[in-house]
Amino acid sequence: MEKLRQILDEMIATLENADEFRERLENLVSVYPFNEYEYIISTLLGLNKLTLDAYVELRDDYIARNLYLYIFEISAPRKFGETWAQGHLKALVPDLVKPQKKLDPQYSGQYDFFLDGRIKIEVKASRAVDFDSDASLYEKALSSDSDKQFDMNFQQIKPACCDVFVWVAVWRDRIRYWVLSSREVETNRYFSTGQHRGNVGEGQLHLNRDNIQDFSQYECRSDGLLDAIRNAYVRQREGDA
């Protein structure tokens, strides 16, 4: 949004009545789908300050930079963390199955996916937003090249309940994945226990600009998730041996 606004501001500056136009913007009443950006762009088109081809290019560039912005519009945490994140991972790794007692007699909702009849997988998801902003979620969503601070908190982590964790992190223009064994999470120096009083074995981990590189060895591409999950399980089992 910042880059789009900068481009439009530069075009507004070329108008003969630029100051008057900006004053109108300050008093503009917006009702969906007629908003500030629609007003600016339609005015620039009408005054031939913006050609149709240039508008299409501007639009395509914006979409490319904000391909995943719609995910920040999911306001309900459970809908984001369970419905979207789990559905997204299932689409990338079709071999994952939803657990049930028929497959795992000990299952009671403690993990999200089952793989190869033995691997218990928990999915955690978060979104990168401007840590210092109080704006709505989609307004403070960050692009992957932003230098602003973010703090993605992976909560309610219970290492004893699964073999492998898959972390999904969303930026406006990018989705990144990390796959760790349960032990690698539990022994990580950033993992803190005691998130909620009385919840034994539960903790949280903050992923931010200062420590994200410390997890580079666990990051993988979307097309490598299946192998990464199996490899993390092997590491977990080797630790149990």
Q: Work out whether the CA dihedral 36, 38, 42, 45 comes out positive or negative.
A: positive
* Tokens encoding 6: 């900068």
Q: Where is 152: in which H helix or E strand?
A: strand 151-157
Please write the tens of the pLDDT for every residue from 151-181: 999 989 999 999 999 999 999 999 999 999 9
Identify the weakest region by mean pLDDT among 2-6, 16-20, 67-71, 175-179.
Answer: 2-6
Give the pLDDT band of residue 200 (cuts 50, 70, 90): low
pLDDT at 205: 94
Q: Where is 229: in which H helix or E strand?
A: helix 225-240
Please write the tens of the pLDDT for every residue from 79-100: 998 899 999 999 999 999 999 9
Whether 96 and 113 have beta carbons less than 8 Å apart is answered as yes
pLDDT at 33: 77
- Quick one: average pLDDT of 220-227? 98
Q: Where is 86: in which H helix or E strand?
A: helix 85-92
Q: Where are the alpha helices (DSSP H) in 105-181?
A: none
Give the pLDDT band of residue 3 (cuts 50, 70, 90): confident
Domains and CATH numbers, the chain: 2-65 (no CATH), 74-240 (3.40.1350)
Q: Could you tell me the end-to-end alpha-carbon distance of the chain, in angstroms, rounded to an integer? A: 51
Whole-number percent of the chain with pLDDT over 90: 77
Give the pLDDT band of residue 239 (cuts 50, 70, 90): confident
- Quick one: average pLDDT of 196-206? 73
pTM for this entry: 0.83
Considering the chain, what is the average pLDDT of its residues? 91
